[in-house]
Chains A and B, each alone.
Chain A
């Protein structure tokens, strides 16, 4: 026998611990909701950090803060050492980094700098191959750190001076590649203005991948230009010993100083990004003064890259907010259903204690306390799990939503606890709530309209720096769903009443009882209908948005590549084109000749255009939107133009040739050019006076997407084989799939594409749970009904028919409304906000509906409804009518 408690807390605990299964379910859902809302902002920041590191990783050395300027060399020192002369500059440059405050300061590495003289021709010794050498002398105090001497020795200090004795040769060190390009080895003597240079040593970078060589490429490899029939030009630089610098004051004073602060992006976090961008801009906004009138002007693409990444992350978080808020709405609706079930179980006790004199406040307080007992441990567990899983620091605002979610649970408990009535009433006869309901629904519809209006005015993202769940975005879909759901619940009894009026006259008991029940005592309350509508909406919306983004990314990548395969080379000869067009698996190939600086004259004046010549039939085969222009039109040459050209009529002159503008197309629809273009067929090249100009862009369409890599390799080989040694370096091959893979490698795009199916799946699960909970909640009423039906002799089929009436109207209406809303929402989103910044490309993606996904989602909901109904019927039949009727007695 248990010892009785008489204290209020003990009694409350007794109440709360009764029937704990429902409480555990609610606790689980609360834990999930709090976990999701806690983890989402953290995951977004992590995603932001990943995206930032990904993007900055692509930038490599371009993200470093680089400075260009001039070195200040103090004149008038008597016999200065290198340290005396260059030390102050070196110190100042080191300071430029060490003075940077965190967080930028923590990313900054040790600055490096190289001072170079102006470029001068160096004359090679006799016997070397004929080449023109454009040479700069470079001085770097730490030059020996990244190289090894391959032959000869390090240059020694020069005793001469550029304003006096220049007799002795000045030692230099050249890179191995420069030596090979110039055809000289150590010991060679070069004339360099008034000076004589001696190649004291030849070096090779110890690590050619070191960022140093990205900033000083001229010291690693020469740049060689070798047009046919002309002596090649070698442009390069050579180190001198820093100790030689004092003798070369004038020479270096006329040169340039480059310095850079390496930025290590691997530890950057998204949370610091905005601050880092600001710091970088502050650093680069003003010139950095060096001793002795030297100065540096810093620049970096770092800040811009951060901003671009931030824009993308914000867009991503906005999209996620759209999908996840709906999900959260379903989750909360299911939690509310669960709480409703708990409160229903407590109803008898509430009524009894209320009748014994408990005030509404006491009853609601007790239920709120129960809610707190259920929610608090669950919320703490959920939040702790989220923090442990994604230990990303976030600011206090990220806690608002989880706290709200957790706090709403006791509130819902309290709200659902009353007002209570001793007797149950028919729902359609409740008149007291009527006005309140109308006002609430009007407010809801107004709020939804306002949210939509604000969203369309403001766009997807509130500000470029805001990451996390944007309240407006999060609210809009939920408000819309709630408003539409409220309207649907308002309207849906109307057709049912018509049905009821019709079956009243007939002799179908099933139809009469079913329809009467659906109208007068609906089993599923507004919460269940809301959960169903919102759940189906989220499933459909997520799938449509997912398909839209995926297709959008693919289209943008294809547009960027211009074709399945794009080859750029200095020359693509007609033979090469013919060979490639004949390759196995090639559907079409077109070589584009781009001639900038052409002039198009019409009545309105002259426009500077880029003339593009190609085989328009082949291009048309690849891009059906581009016309075929190989037939004359009334003696004139047919052309297509970009529609950004201000043309008055269709007749115009291209140079001296008469042309007729047959088509106008969007500026970016023609690959390889962006604006002001005129497209003509290459068969008219001679009439246009452009014969013999080589094509430099090759577009290839393939039959089978899987063969792209093989064909790309063959095409590249074919193009390279036709080119001279020098020309080969100019060949680049891009495939649409490669561009797409690059786009997909972005963590944000991968994250969104991964999150949307999860959101859809989770919403489906929650919808099913809502349906199951609602069906279970109606258990007592249903058992009573089944009891009555069996007593009056209804057979199984009739019972089933009446139970089908119980859920079918609500489920069907919810699915119809949910699917409609889910299909409409992406159109609202894409019209209110521009997703092109997100998917890339220039054309805003329009929603793409994948019927299969939608049908699957609808089928899943239907199947669950059937299973839930069948289970309910089976459970109802297990009880004997005597028990259920007795149970129903009040």
Chain B
């Protein structure tokens, strides 16, 4: 089975008056159906660009991108609309940007349902069902201004889920929240992933969030650099412990990004010496450049 989300050599270039900014420089990524994945990266690393492309709001300059079988580069306007309507849902960082301020929680959900021509008689029950799933059924008739930030984000998740999407994208969903609310929102996303089987992709800065995710991808300079896989192991005493293994991403032509801290620790720069061993590759720092200079 092919991955649920697959990007291959994705490039996105913004150009302005002769100046080009490569937001994505050949990003490759694969996420399986039903996975809960976090993407982390520094500011300007291309996280948000990637999410815009995946949610169908932006079009890549080159490369391939597929989500749930939709080729994001080849979609017609009609397909794109259907894609946004039924395939993906998303939650943005700014709580105010996810909801229309003059509509109540139920109305915000009903608007999304109205857009997809869901029959009117089922809308209220669908909204109630979603709010109950998010554990905020008591907020049904409140407007965003009457809710806390965490409550707003959970309503936003409910809105994103309105049309039963296969994938939920969340762009820094806890960025504006305190720790307690962050946890509530993350729990809500995990509930969605576990109970509905929805694929969830979270872009975040929040270590607390990424630490709870099985797979964390790091973007650097518009490319995937490393992946951390976490697993929970139970030892012979019945104690659970979380193990994290870090992987680097090797692209098609063999390029590799070493983690920042490795570079610093060994003062790796400019030229490094490689040695091929039977089962691994060694990378050695070199003082060559200084000597010749």
Interface residues of A (CB under 8 A from B): 1-8, 11, 14-15, 18, 348-349, 352-360, 362, 422, 426, 428-429, 889-890
Contact = CB atoms under 8 A, between A and B. Distances in A.
B86 to A, nearest CB: 7
Contacts of A357: 81-86, 112, 115-116, 163
Contact of B114 (A8, A352, A355, A426): A8
A356 B124 contact: no
30 contacts: A1-B141, A1-B142, A2-B143, A4-B105, A4-B106, A4-B124, A7-B110, A8-B120, A14-B103, A14-B107, A15-B100, A15-B102, A18-B102, A349-B100, A352-B97, A353-B111, A355-B84, A356-B85, A356-B89, A356-B163, A357-B85, A357-B112, A357-B115, A358-B85, A359-B78, A422-B57, A422-B58, A428-B17, A429-B17, A890-B97
Contacts of B17: 428-429
Contacts of B84: 354-357
Residue in A357, A362, A428, A889 with the greatest tally of chain B CB atoms within 10 Å: A357
Given A5-B107, A7-B120, A356 B16 contact: no
Interface string B214-256: 0000000000000000000000000000000000000000000
A11 B16 contact: no
Main secondary structure of the interface of B (DSSP, over half): helix
A4 B140 contact: yes
Given A2-B141, A4-B140, A359 B103 contact: no
A429 B16 contact: yes
Contacts of A7: 110, 120, 123
B107 A356 contact: no
Contacts of B182: none
B51 to A, nearest CB: 11
A429 B111 CA distance: 34
A360 B77 contact: yes
Nearest to A1: B141
B111 A355 contact: no
B110 A5 contact: yes
Contacts, number: 93
B127 interface: yes
A300 to B, nearest CB: 70
Nearest to B127: A6
A889 B97 CA distance: 11
Contacts of B110: 4-7, 11
Contact of B115 (A1, A15, A362, A890): A362
Given A355-B55, A356-B84, A358-B81, A2 B97 contact: no
Closest 3 CB pairs of A and B: A357-B85, A4-B106, A357-B84
A6 B123 CA distance: 6
A362 B77 CA distance: 13
Contacts of A18: 102
A4 B115 CA distance: 17
B104 interface: yes
A6 B57 contact: no
Contacts of B116: 357
A426 B123 CA distance: 40
B201 interface: no
Interface in B86-122: 86, 89-90, 94, 97-98, 100, 102-107, 110-116, 120
A727 B58 CA distance: 99
Nearest to B94: A889
A7 to B, nearest CB: 5
B159 interface: yes
Contacts of B115: 353, 356-358, 362
B57 A356 contact: no
Nearest to A354: B84
Contacts of A15: 100, 102
B212 interface: no
B123 A356 contact: no
B150 to A, nearest CB: 20
Interface in B176-201: none
Given A353-B100, A357-B116, 19 more contacts: A4-B140, A4-B141, A6-B107, A7-B123, A11-B111, A11-B114, A14-B103, A353-B111, A353-B112, A355-B55, A356-B115, A357-B84, A357-B85, A357-B163, A359-B78, A360-B81, A422-B57, A428-B17, A890-B97
Contacts of B102: 14-15, 18
Nearest to B102: A18
B148 to A, nearest CB: 16
Residue in A6, A348, A352, A353 with the greatest tally of chain B CB atoms within 10 Å: A6
B55 A356 contact: no
A18 B107 CA distance: 14
A15 B111 CA distance: 10
B173 to A, nearest CB: 15
A5 B100 CA distance: 14
Residue in A4, A349, A352 with the greatest tally of chain B CB atoms within 10 Å: A4
Contacts of B97: 348, 352, 890
A550 B98 CA distance: 63
A1 B94 CA distance: 25
A1 B138 CA distance: 12
Nearest to B114: A8
Contacts of B85: 356-358
Contact of B16 (A6, A14, A360, A426): A426
B52 interface: yes
A422 B83 CA distance: 17
B52 A422 contact: yes
A366 to B, nearest CB: 10
B256 to A, nearest CB: 33
Contacts of A359: 77-78, 81
A1 B139 CA distance: 10
Contact of A11 (B89, B103, B124): B103
Interface in B120-150: 120, 123-124, 127, 140-143
Nearest to A356: B112
